[in-house]
Amino acid sequence: MEAPVKVIEKKATFKRSKKRTVNWTPWVFVTPHLVIFSLFFLVPILYGIYISFTSWDLVGKPDFVGLANYKEILWQKDSSFYTQFHNGLKNTFIFVLLSVPSCIIIPLLLASALNAKPRFHKLFQSIFYMPTLFSISAVVIIWTLMFNVNQGPINNLLGKSILWTGSQPYAWATLVIVTVWWGIGGNMIIYQAALNGIPKDYYEAADVDGANAIQKFFKITLPSIRGQILYTVVITTIAQFNVYGQPLMLTAGGPTDSTRVLLMDIQQNAFGSGQSIAGIASAMAFILGLCIMVVSLIQFLFLRNRD
């Protein structure tokens, strides 16, 4: 009777030792990312939120002021920071509403056209993707020459002398055109990869049923790449909320600050000439971050797959 008892005890001991074994391999791969994420993303965000509740000039010690910064930019209409914040946030939303649909629809149409494998489709794919590789400085220089009042080819082609970057609504049109041209390639490549993954049987069955190209696009193509569209919509929206280089270098804020976005005011208050007002700038940045989170969540809820 003792032998079976010993066998049972050995099995129990083996099970306990097996449970105590920890597989450290996943942590070896995840830890570097967690360290980098914490140092360069999580810690700056938390510190920025703390600074938004202080009065700080980037030199001395931050003085805690509670919600004073938020009250000033949200409700004190006699404050210049109130005007900056509301004008900048309004212009940021205008830019997002104008640019995001174009940055989604145009790459999708181009990807669909290239997916049909026309002649020289590889060449056109390279041409459409190439602007993505340029820096914002190079992009602005190119389009400043294109939109030049006197020597610009666009005005010469139209036979007019439009001040594209210095008058409205042309300043907004200029920003949208430049942004779409610059970022069209990234979303197009994502859509092309998604389109290549759609089974050809779906389209063959649609041909048997007599569906035309438009019906196949809306009934097969769009539902099949809904996940990729959701991803590009959210990522593109976040990117456009963080717009800075185009309005700064191309329109310089536009006439009467009509294209001056919120990030320009945040940068000016925190790191511009004169005394830094880092607390106000951090409060503006935090509210902008909340707006991005809310808009992205709404997009996700409306565009996610529903069973």
Q: pLDDT tens digits for 130-149?
A: 999 999 999 999 999 999 88
Give residue 307's pLDDT: 44
Average pLDDT, the chain: 86
Q: What is the pLDDT of residues 46-56, one digit of tens each?
A: 999 999 999 88
Residue 45 Cα distances to 42, 51, 167, 236, 263, angstroms: 5, 10, 37, 21, 16
Please say if the pLDDT value at position 17 is more than 90: no
Q: Is 262 helix (H, G, I), strand (E, B) or coil?
A: helix
Give residue 23's pLDDT: 80
Residue ranges of domains in the chain? 89-278
Distance between start and end Cα atoms, the chain: 59
d(CA 108, CA 114): 10
Other Cβ atoms within 10 Å of 210 Cβ, number: 7
Q: Is 276 helix (H, G, I), strand (E, B) or coil?
A: coil
Give residue 306's pLDDT: 53
Please say if the pLDDT value at position 105 is more than 90: yes
**Which residue, among 237, 265, 122, 109, has the nearest Cα to 179 in the 3D structure?**
237
Q: What backbone phi and psi angles, to 5 degrees, belong to 227?
A: -65, -45
d(CA 61, CA 14): 58
d(CA 182, CA 132): 5
Q: Domain 89-278: which topology?
A: MetI-like fold (1.10.3720)
**Model confidence, pTM:** 0.85
Please report which confidence band the pLDDT of residue 291 belongs to, taking 50, 70 and 90 as the band edges: very high
Average pLDDT over residues 163-191: 90
